[in-house]
Amino acid sequence: MSEIRKVAVIGSGIMGSGIAAHLANGGFEVWLYDIVPSTLTEQEQAQGLTLKSAEVRNRLPLSAIAQLVKQKPAPLYDVSFSARIHAANMEDDGELLHEMDWIVEAVVERLDIKQQVFSWIDQHRRQGSLVSTNTSGLSAAVMIQHSSKEMRQHFAVTHFFNPPRYMALVELVATEETLPEVIEVLTRLCQQRLGKGVVQAKDTPNFIANRIGTYGMLVTLKETLQHGLTIDEADALTGPVMGRPKTATYRMLDLVGLDTLLHVVDNVHSRSEDEAERAAFTRPALLEQLVKQGALGQKSGAGFYRKLKGSDGSSYIESLQFDTMTYAPSTKPTSPVIEAAKQAKGAKGKVEALIGAVPEHPHAQFAWKTIKATLLYAAERVGEIAEHIADIDKAMRLGFNWELGPFELWDSLGLAAVAERMKAEGDQLPAWVEAWIADGNESFYKRERGNTFYVHQQRYVLQEQEEGVIELARIKEEKGTVWSNREASLIDLGDEVLALEFHSKSNAIGSDILSAIRYACHETTRNWRGLVIANEGKNFCVGANLMLLLMEAMNEEWDEVEDIIMLFQQSMLQLKRLSRPVVAAPHRMTLGGGVEACLPADIIVASPETYFGLVETGVGLIPAGGGSKEAAILAMQRAAYGAGPSGRVERKLLAGDLQPHLNSLFESIALAKTSTSGFEIARLGYARPQDRVLLRGESRIYEAKQAVLRLDAAGYVPPEEELVAVAGREGKAVMKLAIQNMKLGGYISEHDEKIATKLAHVLSGGDVPSGALVSEQYLLQLECEAFLSLCGEPKTQQRMSHMLRYGKPLRN
């Protein structure tokens, strides 16, 4: 696998460019190919370019690469990674293919064109190189039937989902001729370098996720019409209340494009031999009509929904009315069924409420019918589209963002109960499900001492644990916790390494997490080789729990507020001074207090998808759990990095050395900047030389544990307390000038100015000369004072309550 360095992507459209970007994220050198344009654009003519100019010949990939840097959400972990992508074209750069270790085809979904492209690849590639296609569902075997045997043996489908960086699924499909080692290498590449969840699909129309997902959408359309529901109602019922994404059904169809959907539908219809399936995959008249009218979804401005601008300039949404085929303002439907499901917790609870709270309600009937049809359809496809149910469930979770795959959902509703209801309603169960239930089995999956088993060919088989992944949930189930309170647990990771897991609401840091940190320090010192701070929540930590703080501030309980801050500061300091190594493994949102819980760690091992930042100014505060102090230290260390004969930080720093580093950290904190990836943490100034970013987020706990073991084996000595060289009055003056400019330019409010000035005061070490040496305790004291004074500000309190109520910052 290490030999795979150079990758060619053929086709620089939506998927080709997105895949190229994600390959660049994974550290590969990528050549992005496309066809040579046959005519010049006006701009090219004006520039005096000809059809022979390289800029023209590479126009498509060059403009795709330029787009990658601008696109939102960003396809690249860091804009600089675009330098790893090179433009190439299919007429001039055929020979270059010979150097490629892996060639990914991502041209238009047309068999004839794909076959031409593969014959061109076959002419130029080196023997032994990997070749894959990103087809959505064409037959892999047919696509390469005219290629050489050697290429056919090295060929597979690598089906990425859009957008490739963010969608976690890759469906891998082998043909009968694909060598097993090709699938092994591609699986490892996709998992370890690209951070993807891989499933093995069979060479059948649309593979796993699109096959079941499209069926689900067709059924939803049919049932919407039969139950006389509106689009708004159907979307309200098939989104989060069904454990599925907000885009639900019709919003999702508009995103995908109704014309694209018809292609996918036709692909099954023309290739399936099952009459019932062919009937289900017949083009719905309504869809055909919309496509004929040019209502293709978002890309054409209208589909099931359309977005319009009112006379006051604000936009609003209209939805299609089936009876008149005209648009009317979209509504937020409600019913006892929807309300019951909204109140319920988790996908299982929600679906139970959806179908069981008021079972005779048309909404409940509709929900049950769509779910039932999808469960049955998935069960009928086992063995055909995938070897086993676990890959089908995983494909639906990762490819369609369903909380539970069909078999997981069926289990959660009760295997036998669902089967009974189906039979009572005259449905026929697949023979294997009947036999499985008749054998006395109560579920498709079973958990035993931390292991999962799933049904495969009428017996339970063990779900293999992936190499390099530690799952806290699994350990807890098997061995329980070492210690636990309401908000956090200590978990034994094996090899005498302890993990501290947060599990409060949104993983916000409250008093129980602070107690847990202090207890973890005590416990680790006595009995463990080191500590990992990590969790499996949706986000690592969204910051400190504001609720408590706001209440104390509103009641003017200043002593209480001070106690909270000091407890926070001392807990973080205890982590920093721990006599054993500490490694933090953040993922996704890691904000405010979450960052402050990472900075005391010896090493931060961040997931690629980590959105990291000290964002306290957004709620009218400054970081005061040691975050501002650590920023001052980071600036000093960066200024002194590599200086001093002993490698230690030089104590006599000039303010001039310190200032640029301080300015950039000041800007990150004052503007509450958040990294858009783990790699961008360094751009904000928070990364230390020893910190790392992983390519596979799932392995963060494993990697953090390894880092603890390495530090311990090397004879860990905790960092000594050092004095901090600060920028002092002069440094503060520079930052204040920047604040004034921002204020004059109208970029910040008066309250922002006040907060930023306090931040500048703390970061520069207060009222001391430039280059003064101060203690960490002194900086913590400054943090605390600034924080307390801001808490008393009405505008800060407004910001806090706005954040608590709406989850968004208020600009006041």
Task: Determine whether 630 is exposed, middle or buried from the number of CB atoms within 10 Å of its CB (0-12, 13-18, 19+).
Answer: buried
Residue 482 is encoded by which pair of tokens? 């070492």
- How, if at all, do strands 483-484 and 459-462 pair? unpaired
With binding defined as CB under 6 A, does residue 325 bind ligand NAD?
no
Q: Which of residues 756-785 bind ligand NAD (CB under 6 A)?
A: none
**Least distance between ligand NAD and beta carbon 77 (Å):** 21
With binding defined as CB under 6 A, does residue 24 bind ligand NAD?
no
**Least distance between ligand NAD and beta carbon 293 (Å):** 22
Closest CA to 132 of 198, 210, 227, 75: 198
**Least distance between ligand NAD and beta carbon 60 (Å):** 5
**Least distance between ligand NAD and beta carbon 44 (Å):** 17
Instruction: Choose the stretch contacting ligand NAD; rule: CB under 6 A; options: 134-142, 460-468, 509-517, 680-688.
Output: 134-142
| Binding test (CB under 6 A) with ligand NAD, winner from 7, 8, 9, 11 | 11
- How, if at all, do strands 603-606 and 488-492 pair? unpaired
Within 178-319, where are the H helices? 180-188, 209-226, 231-238, 250-256, 258-271, 275-280, 285-292
| Binding test (CB under 6 A) with ligand NAD, winner from 7, 107, 392, 542 | 107
Q: Which is nearer to ligand NAD, 16 or 593 (CB)?
A: 16
**CA separation for the pair 280, 268 (Å, rounded):** 10
With binding defined as CB under 6 A, does residue 266 bind ligand NAD?
no
Q: Which is nearer to ligand NAD, 206 or 489 (CB)?
A: 206
Q: Return the C-alpha torsion angle 635, 637, 639, 643, nearest 10.
A: 180
Q: Are 592 and 631 in contact (CB under 8 A)?
A: no
Question: Is it true that the peptide bond before 163 is cis, omega within 30 degrees of 0?
Answer: yes
Q: Which is nearer to ligand NAD, 160 or 444 (CB)?
A: 160
Q: Which is nearer to ligand NAD, 151 or 649 (CB)?
A: 151
Quick check: helix, strand or coil at residue 796?
Answer: helix
Q: Which is nearer to ligand NAD, 170 or 521 (CB)?
A: 170
Q: What are the strands of the beta sheet with 197-201, ordered from one edge?
A: 85-89, 29-34, 6-10, 102-105, 130-133, 155-160, 169-174, 197-201
Long-range Cβ contacts of 382-387 (<8 Å, 24+ apart): 382/430, 382/432, 384/202, 384/204, 385/201, 385/202, 385/204, 385/207, 385/208, 385/211, 385/212, 386/199, 386/200, 386/201, 386/202, 386/208, 387/200, 387/202, 387/456
**CA separation for the pair 114, 777 (Å, rounded):** 66
Q: Which is nearer to ligand NAD, 15 or 201 (CB)?
A: 15
- How, if at all, do strands 102-105 and 130-133 pair? parallel
Give whole-number Cα distances, 741 to 552, 747, 753, in Å: 35, 9, 10
Q: Which is nearer to ligand NAD, 117 or 265 (CB)?
A: 117
Q: Which is nearer to ligand NAD, 399 or 594 (CB)?
A: 399
With binding defined as CB under 6 A, does residue 537 bind ligand NAD?
no
With binding defined as CB under 6 A, does residue 189 bind ligand NAD?
no
With binding defined as CB under 6 A, does residue 136 bind ligand NAD?
yes
| Binding test (CB under 6 A) with ligand NAD, winner from 1, 5, 14, 111 | 14
Only one residue has tokens 């329980």, namely: 480
Instruction: Choose the stretch contacting ligand NAD; rule: CB under 6 A; options: 11-19, 51-59, 410-418, 733-741.
Output: 11-19
Q: Which is nearer to ligand NAD, 179 or 255 (CB)?
A: 255
Quick check: helix, strand or coil at residue 314?
Answer: coil
**Least distance between ligand NAD and beta carbon 465 (Å):** 29
With binding defined as CB under 6 A, does residue 134 bind ligand NAD?
yes
**CA separation for the pair 105, 33 (Å, rounded):** 9
**Least distance between ligand NAD and beta carbon 145 (Å):** 17
With binding defined as CB under 6 A, does residue 12 bind ligand NAD?
yes
With binding defined as CB under 6 A, does residue 117 bind ligand NAD?
yes
**Least distance between ligand NAD and beta carbon 268 (Å):** 14
Site string for ligand NAD, 139-178 (x = CB under 6 A): ----------------------xx----------------
Q: Which of residues 34-93 bind ligand NAD (CB under 6 A)?
A: 34-35, 60
Q: Give the binding site for ligand NAD (CB under 6 A).
A: 11-16, 34-35, 60, 106-109, 113, 117, 134-136, 161-162
